[in-house]
Amino acid sequence: MALSTRIFIGLFAGIVTGLFFGELVADLNILGDIFVKLLQMTVLPYIVVSLVAGFGRMELQEARRLALRGAAVLAVIWLLALLLIFAAPLAFPDRDSASFFASPMLSGAAGNDLLELYLPHNIFYSLSNNLVPAVVLFSIFMGIALISVEDKDKVLPIFDSLSHALGHINGMIVKLTPYGIFAIAAAAAGTMTVEELGRVQVYLVTYIAVALLVTFWIFPGLVSAVSGIPFREVLDTFRDALVTAFATGNQFVVLPLIAENCKTLLARHSLPEKETESAIDIIVPVSFNFPSLGKMLVLLFVLFSAWFTDTSLDAGQRLMLAFNGLFSLFGSINVAVPYMLDSLRIPADMFQLFLVTGVVVGRFGAMLAALHIIVLSVIGTLAVCGKLQFSAARIGRYLGISTAATAAMLLAMYAYFSAFVPVAPARDEVLATIEPRVQQVPARVLLTAPTLPGEQLIDEDAEDVVEEYSITDMRLGRRFDEILERGVLRVGYRPNNLPCTFLNEDRVVGFDADMAHSLAHDLGVELELVPFKFDTLYSALREAQIDIAMSCIASLPDRYSRAAFARPVLDLRMALIVPDHMRHRVSENGSALADFDIALVSSHYFEQRLREQLPGASFVELESAESFFRGEPPADALLLTAEEGAAYAFRYPAYSVVPSDPPVRVPAAYALPRGEPEWQEVVSNWVQLKQADGSVERLYSYWMEGGVTARKSRRWSIAQDVLGWWD
Judge if 418 and 457 occupy the same domain: no
Same domain, 484 and 406: no
Same domain, 37 and 87: yes
Bigger pLDDT: 678 or 725? 678
Query: pLDDT (tens digit, 9 = 90+) per residue, 322-342?
Result: 888 887 787 667 778 888 887
- Determine the pLDDT at residue 190: 80
Q: Answer yes or no: do 396 and 379 share one domain.
A: yes
The band of 677, judged by pLDDT with boundaries at 50, 70 and 90, is very high
Average pLDDT over residues 11-31: 87
SS3 state of residue 727: coil
**Beta-carbon-side half-sphere exposure of residue 600 (alpha carbons within 13 Å):** 17
Residue, of 307 and 312, whose pLDDT is higher: 307
Residue 714 lies in a domain: no
Q: Per-residue pLDDT averaged across 7-32, rounded?
A: 86
Task: Give the number of domains in the chain.
Answer: 3
Do 340 and 477 fall within a single domain?
no
Instruction: Give helix 511-523 / helix 695-704 axis angle, nearest 10°.
Output: 150
Q: What is the pLDDT of residues 457-489, one digit of tens each?
A: 333 343 333 333 333 444 678 899 999 999 999
Residues 12 and 81 in one domain: yes
597 in a structural domain: yes
Q: What is the CATH number of the domain that holds 528?
A: 3.40.190.10
Is the predicted pLDDT of residue 126 greater than 60, yes or no?
A: yes
Query: Is 475 inside a domain boundary?
Result: yes
Query: Do 586 and 620 fall within a single domain?
Result: yes
pLDDT digits (tens, 9 = 90+) for 332-374: 677 788 888 877 877 666 787 787 777 668 778 888 888 888 8
- State whether 241 and 205 are in the same domain: yes
Mean pLDDT of 242-261: 72
The reply to whether 718 falls in a domain is: no
With respect to residue 500, please indicate whether it lies within any of the assigned structural domains.
yes
- The answer to whether residues 329 and 448 belong to one domain is no
Same domain flag for 33 and 136: yes
Determine the pLDDT at residue 401: 94
Residue 726 lies in a domain: no
**Residue 523 counted as domain residue:** yes
Helices vs strands, H then E, count in the chain: 33, 14
Owning domain of residue 502 = 439-568+668-709
For the stretch 503-529, pLDDT in tens is 887 789 999 999 999 999 999 999 999
Same domain, 636 and 672: no
Distance from C-alpha of 199 to C-alpha of 92, rounded to nearest angstrom: 10
State pTM to two decimals: 0.57
pLDDT (tens digit per residue) in 647-659: 777 777 667 788 8
User: What was the pLDDT predicted at 466?
Assistant: 35
Q: What percent of the chain has pLDDT over 90?
A: 20
- Highest mean pLDDT (candidates 198-202, 206-210, 307-311, 662-666): 206-210
pLDDT (0 to 100) of residue 99:
46
DSSP collapsed to 3 states, 208-226: HHHHHHHHHHHHHHHHHHH
- CB contact at 8 A, 43 and 334: yes
Strands (E), 372-460: 443-445
725 domain-assigned: no
Q: Tell me: do 326 and 453 sit in the same domain.
A: no
- C-alpha to C-alpha distance for 709 and 715, rounded to whole angstroms: 15
Interval 55-90: pLDDT, tens: 777 677 766 766 777 778 888 888 988 999 999 989
Query: Residue 643: its pLDDT value, please?
Result: 82
